[in-house]
Amino acid sequence: MDIGFGNESDVYSVADAVEGYANLIILGSLDVTNDTAMLMRVCDYLYQKDFYFIVYAGFRAGIFPPSGPNSSFVHIADQRWSDRFLGLYIFDEPGGKQLDYSVTNPDKIVPAANNNTDAALHYVISVNGYLRLYEEFYYDASGVQLFTSDYGLYWYNYLCGYNVVFGEFAGNYSRQIAVALTRGAAKSLGEDWGVMITWKYMQPPYIEEPQQLQEDMVSAYENGAKYIVVFDSSAEFPSTTPLGILTEEHLDTMKQFWEYTKTNPRQNRFSANVAYVLPADFGYGFRGPEDNIWGLWSANMTSRIIWNETKSLLEQQGMNLDIVYETKIDVVPITLPYETLVFWNETTVEQG
């Protein structure tokens, strides 16, 4: 669960409601994480309940210090809760902000670039700079796991320094494309990955229907996601239900999914052995044939070709397909761990 709303008692209510069939809680409400004394009590409570937990820290006006717990928190967390404290969720949807914010919005990470490589380089340098500033200089916690969730530019988020990216299942966008991009980046770059099931609607009830929630959780699980998280917060407060946006039907669905995982063990969270290889640094949003590139340029012939080829490959390969780049940035190649590489320019390479 990502508890993105409310205060101390709200966290306790949600934790109590999902105890026994959830094992991870992201503390995403700034009402909690900005109050370090409250946050300590909440983490003690989750620890006693055998939850793993991740703590959110975000941008603050003036950039520094972050909006979140005080500078001593991570050292205390390591000593007090050991491996139950998984790390920090720093910033939210940096790739989505790059794709969707206007060039005049101060939160857009790269407002202008000369070309794709220039955009990729400045995106990585900028986000990595903020992560290092917060992780190393404010929290003095080099090596702590860094998390975020996003709906685009997953590959570049890993290059920025995130250890885990939760690819978002949002709206009616393709779940399998989100998986292919997130899992492909994690597998190729040697990191972990997960799924964040977030809003289907921009107004109440926000969350998708219980049946679709069940389908999305099973899909994420069968695709190999290490983390499967449900985002629990509405756009207004008080929230739409006593448990944020969750109803009893959603809780029942989560219980059923928990039982499903116990009776259907899986072996491999990186199961795909076919990869579709994109052109270097091509930051296409993948939400349709007219989606933008790096939030700076309109769709072009290349992005339309990529969209059509992706749809065709998914029809052929399904869960067996990942989407990757052949270089980290520009011309520095990496070894892609797949049996078959299908390049966007129609070249296919069998690697055995």
Residue 179 scores a pLDDT above 90: yes
Q: What is the DSSP letter of 28?
A: -
Q: Residues near 146 by Cβ (< 8 Å), separated by ≥ 6?
A: 87, 88, 89, 90, 131, 135, 161, 162, 163, 164
Residues above pLDDT 90, as percent of the chain: 85
Cis peptide upstream of residue 289 (ω within 30 degrees of 0): no
Identify the pLDDT of residue 75.
Answer: 92
pLDDT per residue as tens digits for the range 259-280: 999 999 887 776 899 999 999 9
- Chain centroid, CA 77 distance in Å: 23
Which residues are registered as beta bridge partners of 149?
Answer: 166
Residue 247 scores a pLDDT above 90: yes
Q: Which long-range contacts (CB under 8 A, 24 or more apart) does 56-59 make?
A: 56/26, 56/27, 56/28, 56/29, 56/30, 56/88, 56/89, 56/90, 56/92, 57/33, 57/88, 57/89, 57/90, 57/134, 58/30, 58/90, 58/91, 58/92, 59/91, 59/107
Identify the pLDDT of residue 37.
Answer: 96
What is the CATH topology of the domain spanning 2-263? TIM Barrel (3.20.20)
161-165, 237-241, 307-311 — which is least confidently predicted? 237-241
Which whole number is the average pLDDT over 21-25? Answer: 97
CB 9 within 8 A of CB 38: no
* Six token digits for residue 70: 């005080």
Which residues are registered as beta bridge partners of 230?
Answer: 197
Tell me the domain boundaries of the chain. 2-263, 274-350
CA distance 319 to 317: 6
CA distance 165 to 11: 23
pLDDT per residue as tens digits for the range 103-161: 999 889 999 999 999 999 999 999 999 999 888 888 988 889 999 999 999 999 999 99
Residue 314 scores a pLDDT above 80: yes
Confidence of residue 4 (pLDDT cuts 50, 70, 90): very high
Residue 178 scores a pLDDT above 90: yes
In 133-166, which residue ranges form alpha helices assigned H by DSSP? Answer: 154-160
* Six token digits for residue 21: 């069939």
- Chain centroid, CA 270 distance in Å: 16
Residues above pLDDT 70, as percent of the chain: 98
* Six token digits for residue 12: 């306790």
pLDDT per residue as tens digits for the range 24-79: 999 999 999 999 999 999 999 999 999 999 999 987 766 678 889 999 999 999 89
Confidence of residue 220 (pLDDT cuts 50, 70, 90): very high
For all residues of the chain together, what is the average pLDDT? 94
